[in-house]
Amino acid sequence: MLAGKRILLIIGGGIAAFKSLDLIRRLRERGATVTPVLTRAAEEFVTPLSTSALAAEKVYRDLFDLTDESEMGHIELSRAADLVVVAPATADLMAKMAHGHANDLASTVLMATDKRVLIAPAMNVRMWEHAATQRNLATLLGDGVLVAGPNKGDMACGEYGPGRMAEPLEIVTAIEAAMMDGPLKGRHVLVTSGPTHEPIDPVRYIANRSSGAQGTAIARALTALGAQVTFVTGPASIPAPAGVSVIRVQTARQMLEAVQGALPADAAVFAAAVADWRMAEDQPRKIKKDGSGKVPTLKFAENPDILATVSQMKKGRPALVVGFAAETDDVIAHATAKRARKGCDWIVANDVSPETGIMGGSENAVTVISAQGADEWPRMGKDQVAARLAAKIAGALA
């Protein structure tokens, strides 16, 4: 898949830079050509000599290096590649990218390129979680930049949390997905995922146990088949996949708005566990315990049904609308009735009784209900369910 592909690898100045040397090896093993660009700070972590030796290519370092410019100018350098990869993408590099700085070779190449850019962020957990980095990340995602990682774990600085650079093989997978000329190339697929949070008052909310695992796996599988995926997610407990456009929401109403804003799409997969009800009235102040022993009564209002709304659109309905049905009894009967009631094309039904361990677990056992009837799939990993569903979607859109 990567044979003959050219990757421009910008190595930023972080401790994770040593992993980028392994990334070079992994990419070359797969037949790709890697042209490295080192930032000044990167040279504090890896040497030009080892980078160049592993890449078997010249290493580019300086914007004003006349020899470099005579051999290959920075504009040409930025465009000769099939994909530009930034690993590690430090907080500083991300900030430069988000704000359009071009004051060294790496940032200039990133501004000048007409190719897709994939970043693998790596930094201290506080730096990753800092509002400025998260703002820059949102800007970059909005610009169509693909993101792999970061992972959660122990960090070189002794702290724990998100900020570790994705492992070289994970970055390779994201690169392969970005290069894919898959059956869904040119198709836009919308995926909802995760739970919603419905506020009770400014400090409390109603939620559910959805982790977002199945929706995330589906988005990843669709991306791997070449689809352009818009991923509308509630507050999930696992990170969004690489290479998708992420829209983060809290409530069902925000999710509906985000979905409507993301249309048109060729297909839409509604894997989110949307709260059926929200509070009937907004509660601007925290509900107080007054010591009298009186308990509050919560009054609910029904949330919009996103799946039904999109399925029943008169104009601009995606050609394929897929819903989910999480049931605890009479799964097929309930799911079949749900398909008819909502007006979607397929319902992916599963039994989420606690004894199945499916909700929040890594496996799923689903039955896909369509106009053709019920197709029961064996129990398998959520990633495998996702891959099979993505392939079925590709088949339906072909």
Of 40-48, 64-72, 301-309, 381-389, the segment contacting ligand C5P by CB under 6 A is 301-309
Shortest reach from residue 285's CB to ligand C5P, in Å: 27
Nearest approach, Cβ of residue 232 and ligand C5P (Å): 10
**Comparison of 34 and 272: residue with beta carbon closer to ligand C5P:** 272
**Radius of gyration in angstroms for the set of CA atoms belonging to the chain, rounded to a whole number:** 23
Least gap, CB of 319 to ligand C5P (angstroms): 17
List the one residue out of 123, 194, 132 whose CA is nearest residue 161: 123
In the complex, minimum distance from the CB of residue 270 to ligand C5P, in angstroms, rounded to a whole number: 4
Nearest residue relative to ligand C5P (C-beta): 306
Of the candidate spans 88-96, 149-157, 203-211, 303-311, the one that interacts with ligand C5P by CB under 6 A turns out to be 303-311
Please check whether residue 18 is in contact with residue 12, taking contact to mean a CB–CB distance below 8 angstroms.
no
Site for ligand C5P in 78-117 (CB under 6 A): none
- Contacts with ligand C5P by CB under 6 A: the residue count is 14
Residue 10 or 252: which CB sits closer to ligand C5P? Answer: 252
Among 266, 305, 345, 383, binds ligand C5P (CB under 6 A): 305
Alpha-carbon distance of 206 to 277, in angstroms, equals 9
Does 306 sit near ligand C5P (CB under 6 A)?
yes
Choice from 23, 229, 274, 390 touching ligand C5P (CB under 6 A): 274
Binding mask 220-259 for ligand C5P (x = CB under 6 A): --------------------------------x-------
Selection from 177, 163, 217 nearest residue 194 by Cα: 217
Q: Which of residues 321-380 bind ligand C5P (CB under 6 A)?
A: 323-325, 338
Of the two residues 165 and 369, which places its CB atom closer to ligand C5P in the complex?
Answer: 369
Catalytic residue annotation? 157
> What is the pattern of x (binds ligand C5P, CB under 6 A) and - over residues 176-205?
----------------x-------------
Distance CA 368, CA 377 (A): 8
Choose between 205 and 270: whose C-beta lies nearer to ligand C5P: 270
Nearer to ligand C5P, 274 or 386 (CB): 274
Least distance (Å) between residue 308 CB and ligand C5P: 7
Q: How far is the CB of 109 from ligand C5P (least distance, A)?
A: 41
From the list 7-15, 110-118, 163-171, 320-328, the region that binds ligand C5P by CB under 6 A is 320-328
In the complex, minimum distance from the CB of residue 269 to ligand C5P, in angstroms, rounded to a whole number: 8
Kindly state the smallest distance separating residue 279's Cβ from ligand C5P, in Å. Answer: 15
Q: Which is nearer to ligand C5P, 208 or 283 (CB)?
A: 208
Using the minimum distance from each CB to ligand C5P, give the nearer residue, 143 or 302.
302
What is the edge-to-edge ordering of all strands in the sheet holding 320-327?
Answer: 245-248, 228-233, 188-193, 267-270, 320-327, 346-351, 366-370, 373-376
Q: Which stretch binds ligand C5P (CB under 6 A): 11-19, 35-43, 269-277, 366-374?
A: 269-277
- Per the listing, tokens 């009479």 go with 330
Query: Which H, E and C letters describe the chain, residue by residue?
Result: CCCCCEEEEEECCCCCHHHHHHHHHHHHHCCCEEEEEECCHHHHCCCHHHHHHHHCCCCECCCCCHHHHHHCCHHHHHHHCCEEEEEEECHHHHHHHHHCCCCCHHHHHHHHCCCCEEEEECCCHHHHHCHHHHHHHHHHHHCCCEECCCEEEECCCCCEEEEECCCHHHHHHHHHHHHCCCCCCCCEEEEEECECCEECCCCCEECCCCCCHHHHHHHHHHHHCCCEEEEEECCCCCCCCCCCEEEECCCHHHHHHHHHHHCCCCEEEECCECCCEEECCCCCCCCCCCCCCCCCCCCEEECCCHHHHHHCCCCCCCCEEEEEEEECCCHHHHHHHHHHHHCCCEEEEEECCHHHCCCCCCEECEEEEECCEEEECCCEEHHHHHHHHHHHHHHHHC
Candidate residues 17, 125, 218, 272; the one interacting with ligand C5P per rule CB under 6 A: 272
Q: Interface with ligand C5P by CB under 6 A: which residues? A: 192, 252, 270, 272, 274, 276, 303, 305-307, 323-325, 338
